[in-house]
Amino acid sequence: MSQCRVCSAALEPVIDFGRMPIANGFLKDPKAKEFFYNMAVGFCPSCLMVQLTEAPAPEMMFNDSYAFFSSTSRAMAEHFRGNAEEVLARTSRSSAPFIVELGCNDGIMLKNLAAKGVKHLGIEPSSNVARAARQNGVNVTEKFFNAATAQAILKEYGPADVICGSNVFCHIEDINSVFAGLAILLKPEGYVYFEDPYLWDIIQKSSFDQIYDEHVYYFSGLSVRNLAARHGLELVDMAHQEVHGGSMRYYLKRKGVQAPASAVAEWIAKEKELKIDVIDGYRVFKSKVDVICRDLKALLVDLKAKGARVVGYGATSKSTTLLNYAGIGPELIEHISDTTPTKIGRFTPGMHIPVKAYEDLVPGGVRYVLLLAWNHKKEIMAKERAFQAQGGKFITYFPAVVME
């Protein structure tokens, strides 16, 4: 029985996916030895945190070959420009605000602040994306954030008006040390915001592909409120985001600085409606996940039997979970199209489906596209109108398998 990383209580099992490779571990050589770990999710009945029971060492994932560059999607670039504007609007009363971002990736958010001369610091352990951030004019330190890093930053730069992170807090296994760091570095009136895939969306859509090695935690208002309270912080607001198939942005301040906005109680009520505060909610989730995998595989096998050719769209990290758990390999998907240079020419983790450049997306005779980057559906559908106009079909699978 594994223990909750936040409060040490015994975890209750939610779902066991079995052997999984590293989600972003695209292979140059499909015969190369691959790292596998056992991927399973547990629910803490005490602090309500949902988490992986076993997480690979961070160095296995966030290193010089980290394959994910934030700026490959136009919609994401727009989203983060919006984040930067919000930061500026909220700190306008401070004469020279200092903004710290954890996991700044290629600088997709901070470059907007750097361009305006705002004092900032990006903290990014993956050196290849950190390099890209520097090229975007961002001040970066290549470190993992924790209490010791927070002390060092405080000494060098002073306290922060804003500490933020997008799709990074849920990556950090020692989340208590991150929160201890926030409490060290934050100005008395400063605020923290972070956004990550939202547990409520995952349960509602059965979008289990958000579960992979990098996502140690699946946050909710309920669990974040408990976690913050352990470190003298308070959840004061929540704002739902469309990105990554449904994310939540959590705002924290030091305890007692600001009364929580009504959104906190409203979202927590919605979370309780979905029963994410009790193990029963997760039993329903598990059975829905298994139905989706069974239906999707059956559809692909049927298309194959009919001689149809299917390609995938977007070699996303999350598709590693879907493809490996459902058992979908190159015998069912010819190749996956992706625009990321570091993925093109490689093979997907575990299932070894070749990744090809966008230009090769739909060779003659392909009528079916499995939309693996389903979180970018709007952007992709708009771009691929011609494919559908010519009778092409997209296959999607959350909350159920459909062709459109």
Which of 125, 12, 149 has the alpha carbon at shortest distance from 63? 125
- For ligand TMP, give the closer residue by CB, 343 or 346: 343
In sequence order, what are the beta bridge partners of 251?
193, 237
Q: Is 206 in the site for ligand TMP (CB under 6 A)?
A: no
- Region 326-345 residues binding ligand TMP, contact defined as CB under 6 A: 337-340, 343
Q: What are phi and psi of 281, to 5 degrees?
A: -60, -35
Q: Which two tokens stand for residue 231?
A: 């470190």
- For ligand TMP, give the closer residue by CB, 53 or 319: 319
Which of 24, 103, 97, 105 has the alpha carbon at shortest distance from 65? 24
Distance CA 118, CA 123 (A): 16
Which of 253, 257, 373 has the alpha carbon at shortest distance from 317? 373
**Nearest-CB residue to ligand TMP?**
314
Partner from Zn ion, ligand TMP, none binding residue 47, C-beta < 5-8 Å depending on class = Zn ion
- For ligand TMP, give the closer residue by CB, 232 or 392: 392
Residue selected from 42, 181, 312, 314 as contacting ligand TMP according to rule CB under 6 A: 314
Q: What is residue 60's three-state secondary structure?
A: helix
Instruction: Choose the binding region for ligand TMP from 24-32, 86-94, 215-223, 310-318 (rule: CB under 6 A).
Output: 310-318
Q: Is 362 in the site for ligand TMP (CB under 6 A)?
A: no
Q: Is 315 in the site for ligand TMP (CB under 6 A)?
A: yes
Q: Is 106 in the site for ligand TMP (CB under 6 A)?
A: no
Which of 24, 25, 56 has the alpha carbon at shortest distance from 39? 56
Q: How far is the CB of 219 from Zn ion (least distance, A)?
A: 13
- Region 363-392 residues binding ligand TMP, contact defined as CB under 6 A: 373, 375-376, 379-380
Q: Is 73 in the site for ligand TMP (CB under 6 A)?
A: yes
Distance CA 372, CA 395 (A): 9
Q: How far is the CB of 393 from ligand TMP (least distance, A)?
A: 17
Is it true that the peptide bond before 399 is cis, omega within 30 degrees of 0? Answer: yes
Could you count the other beta carbons within 10 Å of the beta carbon of residue 365? Answer: 8
**Residues interacting with ligand TMP, by CB under 6 A?**
72-73, 314-317, 337-340, 343, 373, 375-376, 379-380
